[in-house]
Amino acid sequence: MPTLPQGLTAAAFAAAVAKFTAALGAERVVTSDEDVALYRDAYSPLWNEPGELVASAAVVPDSVEHVQAIVRIANEHRVPLYPIATGKNLGYGGSAPNLSGSVIVDMKRMNRILEVDESRGFALVEPGVSYFDIYRHIQERGLKLWIDCPDPGWGSLVGNALDHGVGYTFGPFRDHFGSHCGMEVVLPSGEIMRTGMGALPGAKSWQEYRYGFGPYVDGLFGQGNFGIVTKMGFWLMPEPEAYRSGVVLVPRRRDLVALVDQVNYLEHASLIGQPNYGSPLQRLVANEPELRAMLEKPGGPSDDELDRFAASRSQAVWQCELQFYGPERTIAGNWEYAKERLAAAIPGARFEDRESYRFPLSAQDKEGVPHKVALGIPNMAIFSIGARSDFNPNPRDGHLWFAPVIPKSGEAVLDCQRVLGEVYRELGMGGGAFLQTPATWHFRTFIMLVGFSVSRTDPAVNQRSLANFRRVVEVAAEHGWGEYRSPPVMADEIMSTYSFNDHVLRRFCETLKDAADPNGIIAAGRGGIWPRYLRERQP
């Protein structure tokens, strides 16, 4: 017998499964233990433990009509549904629900690419379309368009955007929700709604103007549970003539402040794509006990200590890779302009040329590109790194991420390093925080990634990771830094930090949720929002 959620009887569940089967056909309803287990979260920190978040069954619609039938049956029997796109959101719950016993609505067979327009620069796709699928489609047709993809290419454009996922190329394209335009949604009532211009029958600009007329409702469907998205439009980037990258290296810790100021200017003026910060000292940590001791002592190194150490090893303290996309002459000129600005602002700054490409690339050229996602080429190379974390060099069975949003300034990074350094020391997580640089997927803010490993075999690892995760969430919130995205197991605690005025944002969303989904059947708990009948069960 599968796990069933509070309030759902075995009889009601069986009746719903029978109706799902009648409506969709037996081959589209998944009920065997073995098959349902495929929807477990491969990176669950509660693996095989009583609290593991698991599905009771899955349904695999082929069409919007199937989705409507599923939603209507779920309403009739009060069956909680949990829609997934391709279900590849590892580290953020995979294909498992926020509420154990939910029926997974697996959208992978709805994988049509409905339109790609080269000149107007958009695509309209179903949730089962992966980054590989859309890339192949564009390449086969020779369209001069790029996609922006996250690390693993097997994910869904729709699923990633709805989780506020991010990528690697130019400007606002990296914000996958922000570069969507127009949705089709099956509402909790079972009705089909189209948003933006799509609400106008026969609309000609559904993928070109997002707001349509009146209130703009799309935001409710990202990290939310107001419906099941069945189509979504995305703006695509025109293929540039060329790409080049270069690195700026700065000698002193405090140079980070001027470095970020200058790089912000370049990025906000659309002169560069994603900037990649780092510290050349990271490479020395393993073999330099002096550096390690400095990083691990309470409070970490002083500015002087770090600067002197770096100078003694002829290393810069920080670096930033700048990426340029555009006509060859433009990007050569922009790199010169960047060097002039940076050299004037930061005494001792050094510059190194890196890669350079002209498009389109041959298949062989593509093979040789070290960081393919920066050119919008989906791939799976990320998994060679395992549970990527500077503090966890030995790949584990999986990982969770915490990624607090911090200001886009060097001062904020230095401050966050000190705070994380303290909490890492408290939790025995090492001294890496003092060389940690921000992730820069977001166009207008920084995040500081913290990874926690999970284990399939050692529950103690998981317990420690969850306890550490909770502690870091708490410390970050005390400093005004909040998470942008969460694995289901942490969603309530993350949402609890967004507590301004007695959690009014959450209460406002709950009010809307109860009105739109009175039976609470869609993705209960997603984004920290629970339907009325389940709110009592929250921690």
Residues 452-481 within binding reach of a second copy (CB under 8 A) = 477-481
Q: Which of 92, 131, 135, 357 is catalytic?
A: 92
Does the protein bind a second copy through residue 336 (CB under 8 A)? yes
Binders in 174-193 for a second copy, by CB under 8 A: 177-178, 181, 187, 191-193
Does the protein bind a second copy through residue 219 (CB under 8 A)? yes
Q: Is residue 492 within 8 Å of residue 525, measured between CB atoms?
A: yes
Here the tokens at position 104 are 């997974």
Binding residue for a second copy (CB under 8 A) from 6, 504, 537, 538? Answer: 504
Interatomic CA distance for residues 222 and 160, integer angstroms: 9
Alpha carbons within 13 A on the beta-carbon side of 136: 10
92 is catalytic: yes
Judged by CB under 8 A, the stretch of 68-76, 105-113, 116-124, 310-318 that binds a second copy is 116-124
Q: How far is the CB of 396 from a second copy (least distance, A)?
A: 26
Residue 328, H or E segment: helix 328-345
What phi, psi does 248 have (nearest 5°)?
A: -110, 135
Q: How far is the CB of 215 from a second copy (least distance, A)?
A: 3
Q: How far is the CB of 145 from a second copy (least distance, A)?
A: 10
Q: How far is the CB of 464 from a second copy (least distance, A)?
A: 24
Closest CA to 131 of 107, 105, 160, 103: 160
Q: How far is the CB of 13 from a second copy (least distance, A)?
A: 28
Binders in 506-525 for a second copy, by CB under 8 A: 506, 508-509, 511-512, 514-516
Q: Is residue 213 within 8 Å of residue 219, measured between CB atoms?
A: no
Site string for a second copy, 245-284 (x = CB under 8 A): ---------------xx--xx--xxxx-------------
Site string for a second copy, 133-172 (x = CB under 8 A): -----------x-------------------x-----xxx
Q: How far is the CB of 457 from a second copy (least distance, A)?
A: 32
Here the tokens at position 378 are 């989906």
Binding residue for a second copy (CB under 8 A) from 97, 222, 275, 300? Answer: 222
Q: CA–CA distance from 482 to each of 322, 347, 402, 486, 494 (Å)?
A: 27, 34, 9, 11, 8
Q: CA–CA distance from 291 to each of 255, 281, 303, 314, 323 (Å)?
A: 19, 9, 13, 14, 30
By C-beta, is 88 or 408 nearer to a second copy? Answer: 408
Closest CA to 143 of 42, 71, 238: 238
Q: How far is the CB of 162 from a second copy (least distance, A)?
A: 11
Site string for a second copy, 382-411 (x = CB under 8 A): -----------------------xxxxx--
Does the protein bind a second copy through residue 99 (CB under 8 A)? no
Pairing of strands 318-326, 242-250: antiparallel
Coil, helix or strand at residue 50: coil
> Which residues are CB-neighbours of 42 under 8 A, at least 6 positions away?
90, 94, 398
Binders in 68-87 for a second copy, by CB under 8 A: none
By C-beta, is 281 or 433 nearer to a second copy? Answer: 433
Quick check: bond before 488 cis, omega within 30? no
- 117 DSSP 8-state letter: E
> Which residues are CB-neighbours of 142 under 8 A, at least 6 positions away?
none
- b/e per residue 478-494 (b: at least 16 CB within 10 A): eeebbbbbbbbbbbbbb
By C-beta, is 80 or 528 nearer to a second copy? Answer: 528
Q: How far is the CB of 144 from a second copy (least distance, A)?
A: 8
Q: How far is the CB of 148 from a second copy (least distance, A)?
A: 13
325 is catalytic: no
What's CA 2's distance to the chain center, in Å?
30
Size of the site for a second copy (CB under 8 A): 107
Interatomic CA distance for residues 82 and 100, integer angstroms: 10
Binders in 480-499 for a second copy, by CB under 8 A: 480-486, 494-495, 497-499
By C-beta, is 382 or 505 nearer to a second copy? Answer: 505
Does the protein bind a second copy through residue 116 (CB under 8 A)? no
Does the protein bind a second copy through residue 375 (CB under 8 A)? no
What's CA 433's distance to the chain center, in Å?
22
Q: CA–CA distance from 100 to each of 3, 41, 71, 452 (Å)?
A: 7, 12, 18, 23
Q: How far is the CB of 25 from a second copy (least distance, A)?
A: 26
Q: Which of 484, 498, 532, 533 is catalytic?
A: 484
What's CA 31's distance to the chain center, in Å?
30
354 is catalytic: no
> Which residues are CB-neighbours of 356 under 8 A, at least 6 positions away?
242, 243, 244, 245
Judged by CB under 8 A, the stretch of 19-27, 82-90, 107-115, 222-230 that binds a second copy is 222-230
Here the tokens at position 119 are 């000149």
Here the tokens at position 94 are 């995979």
Does the protein bind a second copy through residue 309 (CB under 8 A)? no
Binding residue for a second copy (CB under 8 A) from 235, 243, 277, 434? Answer: 235
Judged by CB under 8 A, the stretch of 56-64, 94-102, 236-244, 384-392 that binds a second copy is 236-244
In degrees, rounded to 5, the angle at the alpha carbon of residue 252 between the alpha carbons of residues 248 and 253 is 100
Does the protein bind a second copy through residue 208 (CB under 8 A)? yes
Does the protein bind a second copy through residue 197 (CB under 8 A)? yes
Residues annotated as catalytic are 92, 484-485
